[in-house]
Structure 1
Amino acid sequence: MKLRLPNTFVLLFLILAMIAAATWVVPGGQYNMVTIDGKARIDPNSFHYVASNPQGFVALMMAPIKGFVEAAQIIGFVLIVGGAFAVLQRTEAIDSMIKSVARAHTHSAFVRAAIIPVFVTMFSLGGATFGMSEEAIPFILIFVPLALALGYDSIVGVSIPFVGSQVGFAAAFLNPFNVGVAQGIAGVEVFSGMGYRIVCWAVATAITVGFLMWYAARVKANPTLSPTYALDQEKRKENVVGFDGFTGMTRTHGAVLMIFLGFMLAMVVGVVKYEWYINEIAALFLVMAIAVGVVGRLNTDEFVAAFIQGARDLVTTALVIALARGTMILARDAHIIDTMLHSLMPLVQSSSPVFAAQKMFAIQSVINFFIHSGTGQAALTMPIMAPLADLVGVTRQTAILAFQFGELTTPMIPTSGITVGVLALARIPWITWAKWMIPLQLMYLVMAMVLLVPPSLTGWQ
């Protein structure tokens, strides 16, 4: 019998119902708050029991709308960012740039040699900045034929856009959908700590590039080493071409990309120098969408349609955030959040904050198997993990990094819709892909545990 996990919404509502039920049996508890460096923090030695306030059926049904109201700023931010990037995609500037470079492989030995590091870095940068994830799926139709044409295999063709974007997403430094949301919920300045996150992104991307180049060289030298060798022989017979009708990148596309880059730099300056928060960043994305639409020569109907479609694509994410926040509202109103923190503390607490941070990473990796939406997972776990970090001597910034690294398992887990979708498009069996991914996943595991050491030892803020 095939195991089938419930839909994310069903899973979250089950969690909501379990928390409502737990409010009837878990005693109320409370920590006292102290002010440290101008910020409210939990006093780890002040826990005491208080009267609980069990939540019934009516409270359960009201929790989602209350969650929507309390998370309105984050939800609005996500919808605006989604709309802005949909406008950028509608101009076809990013697609055009990738196709231009990919087509050049037929004319340049340098391009053929650089195609893996260049494209993996580009997709990783997309994941790290604007949260590229599902957007990588269409590129499978380009990079699988390209990889086969270069003498590689379908695994290389899938890995360039898919693993590239996913590792960038997990090790992001400007991604509004995981870093921005998690920091907003944790009460940490949005996009702060960018310097060390850039180091983490560079290390994760370099490991991915190095592993792929090593694997690609082996397969090129001996194609029979590929787990997809037989499947690829059939694909080569089909002679699939991903560049039909493409005439090259236009000046308009180039101008759009320059505007996009300019606005990303403006966001960095605004966050670092002027301490911009969610409202300012959302406004910047809105202005970027308008500028990109004008330069990209989209008429008003095209602009509005693209923006609405982009926001519509993230309605699911918005509802996940609302449901996740609803779980915290039930627990908060019942006065059991501090009791839960008190119970979790022994599981995470260690003699060193290094091990505490690594335990957080392990917990987030397990949660990622069930809830692999970066935004939804942040909304569900950060209200617990942020104050828990205070209790075990880990900074909230480090706890957020541990949460991010938990998403490094996404390219492998069968519960991820994008993973299953990408493999179906490339016609690669999941078990074949999973076996190939094991060495890379082990490298990511070691990398994450090592990269969590410096911020844990230095009290990274």
Structure 2
Amino acid sequence: MTKKKKLQFPTAYTILFIVAVMVAVLTWVMPAGKYDSLAYDSGSNVFTVTSATGEAMDYPPTQETLDKFGIKAELSKFVDGDIWKPVGIPGTYTELPSNPQGIKELFQSPINGMYEGVDIIIFILIIGGFIGVVNHTGAFDSGIAHLAKTLDGKEKWLIIIITSLIALGGTSFGLAEETIAFYPILVPVFLAVGYDAMVAVASIYVGSSIGTMASTVNPFATIMASNAAGINWTSGIVGRGIMLVVGTGICILYIIKYAEKVKRDPSKSLIFAQKEAIEKKFLHATADKETREYDTRTKLVLAIFALSFIVMIYGVSKLGWWFLEMTTLFFVASIVVAVIERIDERAFVSEFINGARDLLGVALIVGIARGVTMIMDHGLISDTMLYYASNIVNGMGKGVFINVMMVLFAGLSFFVPSSSGLAVLSMPVMAPLADVIGVPREVVVSAYQYGMGMMAFITPTGLILASLMMVDVTLDKWFKFVMPLLGILFVFTSGLLLTGVYL
């Protein structure tokens, strides 16, 4: 008798391909269209207005020009570079000839996405090489063993500290893609203290998501959206501060509850079937491999390791660094570790390449996800979705309006996962609707952040698939873990938005 093969949840690659097919189909059934856009050209010191059909005209960089096109933003926001992307002009949506994406475009999209995302792909590969070199020294295993002893009985503080710190990074400068670098470091630590890999993913990814969801001074979300909406970014900061503190607290308590259950009984883990494979992958020390002594040189290697991430965070938040600078930092750090440890040149190259190879799948996921977004852009349906979304909320009562607005922003962010991209696309169109309903514009900015933030927990076009792939966890297991938390956060954010509307 033939044994029936058990159905398995598809891999991240297959999920993204299915999403790409769905988006490609939408380009055949949805009308194509675009809003006119306005952008500031600092080189020529002019506003360039590009029509939906592609014609461009230059206008003087004055407040009168912005008022003429109904863009309620200060001139200085463009001139100073606070708004650096083209802004949609409200009331200018134009239907265009359909540009459906066929089989050719569908199969080209992953390749196009890799071209588009080459900066983050190289960053991930260099991070993998750096991790490979540090793992080769044995310092990481020694440090984990030492930390596990230190945290004995106080393991929950690991969740509290990691989630809080990453949430602070998310709320201040939009810490997101950079968290990919943290998984190889932190997953072994969580495993060593008796938790499962899901706790590590949750502490890192949920921390980043709740931080960006409750952005307070994040230039890529709050400041960009507020500028595009024509208000000061400090408007509504109290409500978003409450969201940050309470929301992070909710997430931490939720993660701790699951983590303690797993620690008491490992069979309660959502990924118990993968326990042995995950531990084999991340806990390098084995019975036949003696753990390195936790001596001065070990501490020096670990200090360089930790300092690399501290410098990265400082560089991004204070020095305007992006992927080129971050990638260079980790490449140099890997060489410094090799020199301190006197690693043979051949061994260094071999371990660096092996480490990069371990993260190759993650790098490809990022590129493929970018390709999905490009299908929609080329199919000219991004602005169409925004146009229909703006029509849905017309004439609603205040309470219904603001909560429907949050749901609409969540839906739009599935197709436009970039926080700054969604801000400049949607705010000039959506913010004026608040004036008609009698809702403060800052509450619409909050609805944008909360909707986009909640979708970030689960959207395949964002970072979640790349994050889960770091620890070989499938999306269905993540859904089982995170959906109850999303339900709690939805109720809380809905109440917070209603408070902003009526008080």
Amino acid at match of 1:13: F
Contact 2:127 2:327 (8 Å CA) reproduced: yes
Structure 2 residue 14 is the aligned partner of structure 1 residue 10: yes
Residues in 2 aligned to 1:8 and 1:137: alpha-carbon distance in whole angstroms: 20
Letter in 1 for 2:104: V
Q: Work out which of the residue numbers 329, 352, 370 in structure 2 matches 1:325.
A: 370
Residue in 2 aligned with 1:142?
192
How is 1:41-440 mapped onto 2 (pairs within 5 angstroms)?
41-104=87-150, 112=153, 114-118=154-158, 120-122=160-162, 130-131=179-180, 132-133=182-183, 138-139=188-189, 142-144=192-194, 161-171=200-210, 206-207=249-250, 210=253, 245-246=290-291, 248-346=293-391, 355=403, 358-359=406-407, 363=411, 378=417, 387-393=425-431, 403-408=452-457
Report the alpha carbon displacement of residue 303 of structure 1 after superposing the two structures with TM: 3.0
Q: Is the 8 A contact 1:121 1:164 kept in 2?
A: no
User: How far apart in 2 are the matches of 1:6 and 1:160?
Assistant: 22
In structure 1, distance between residues paired with 2:186 and 2:103: 41
Deviations 1:346-393 (A, max 9, x none): 56888589647742675499x6xxxxxxxx9947x9866762355333
Find the aligned partners of 2:260 and 2:450 in 1 and give their Cα distance.
33
SS at structure 1 position matched to 2:29 = coil
Please, which runs of 5 or more residues in structure 1 have no aligned partner? Answer: 106-110, 145-155, 174-178, 236-240, 368-375, 424-429
Q: 1:294 to 1:447 in 2, by over 3 A?
A: farther
- Worse-superposed segment, 7-16 or 354-363: 354-363
Aligned partner of residue 155 in structure 2, secondary structure: helix
1:394-433 C-alpha deviation (Å, 9 max, x unpaired): 89998577545545569xx99996699679xxxxxx79x9
1:27 shift after superposition: 2.5
C-alpha displacement of 1:29: 0.9
- Once the two structures are TM-superposed, the CA of residue 49 in structure 1 deviates from its matched residue by 1.1
Distance 1:133 1:277 in 2: 20
Equivalent-residue separation in structure 2 for 1:159 and 1:118 (angstroms): 14
Counterpart Cα distance in 2 of 1:266 and 1:288: 11
State the alpha-carbon separation in 1 of the partners of residues 301 and 393 from structure 2: 47
Q: 1:246 to 1:65 in 2, by over 3 A?
A: closer
- SS, match of residue 24 in structure 1: helix
- After TM superposition, give the deviation of residue 117 of structure 1 in Å: 0.8
TM-score (norm 2): 0.58
Residue aligned with 2:100, SS: coil
> How many angstroms apart in 1 are the aligned matches of 2:380 and 2:260?
58
In percent, how many aligned pairs have the same letter? 26
C-alpha deviation, 1:255, in angstroms = 1.2
What's the counterpart of residue 151 of structure 1? none
- Following superposition, the deviation at residue 339 of structure 1 comes to 1.6
Using the alignment, how far apart are the partners of 1:29 and 1:389 within structure 2?
18
- TM-score normalised over the length of structure 1: 0.63
User: Is the partner of 1:275 in helix, strand or coil?
Assistant: coil
What 5-or-longer segments of structure 2 have no aligned partner? 40-72, 168-174, 213-217, 227-232, 276-282, 432-441
Separation in 2 of the partners of 1:331 and 1:29? Answer: 12
Distance 1:307 1:397 in 2: 43
Flag the 1:248–1:333 CA change in 2: closer, same or farther, 3 A. same
Using the TM superposition, give the Cα deviation of residue 102 of structure 1 relative to its aligned residue in structure 2, in angstroms. 1.9
Partner Cα distance (2:498, 2:321) in 1: 29
Q: Is contact 1:82-1:310 (8 Å) kept?
A: yes
What is the alpha-carbon distance in structure 2 between the residues aligned to residue 313 and residue 327 of structure 1? 24
Instruction: Give the Å deviation of 1:259.
Output: 2.1
Query: Compared with structure 1, are the counterparts of its residues 55 and 316 closer, same or farther at alpha carbon in structure 2 (3 Å cutoff)?
Result: same
Cα root mean square deviation, aligned: 5.4
| Cα distance change of structure 1 residues 444 and 20 upon mapping to structure 2, 3 Å threshold | closer
Distance 1:335 1:227 in 2: 48
CA shift at 1:50, angstroms? 1.9
Separation in structure 2 between the aligned mates of residue 408 and residue 447 of structure 1, nearest angstrom? 16
Q: Flag the 1:388–1:310 CA change in 2: closer, same or farther, 3 A.
A: farther
Provide the rounded CA distance (Å) in 2 between the counterparts of 1:292 and 1:404.
Answer: 37
Alpha-carbon distance in 1 for matches of 2:105, 2:357: 28
Call closer, same or farther: CA 1:201–1:168 in 2, change over 3 Å: farther
Number of aligned residues: 394
Match of 1:31 in 2: 35
Give the counterpart letter for 2:16 in structure 1: L
Contact 1:23 1:334 in 2 (8 A): yes
Name the SS of the counterpart of 1:29 in structure 2: strand
Shift of 1:32: 0.8
* Cα distance, 1:66 vs structure 2: 2.6
Q: Does the Cα contact within 8 Å between 1:28 and 1:335 map onto a contact in 2?
A: yes
Contact 2:139 2:292 in 1 (8 A): no
Is the partner of 1:100 in helix, strand or coil?
A: helix
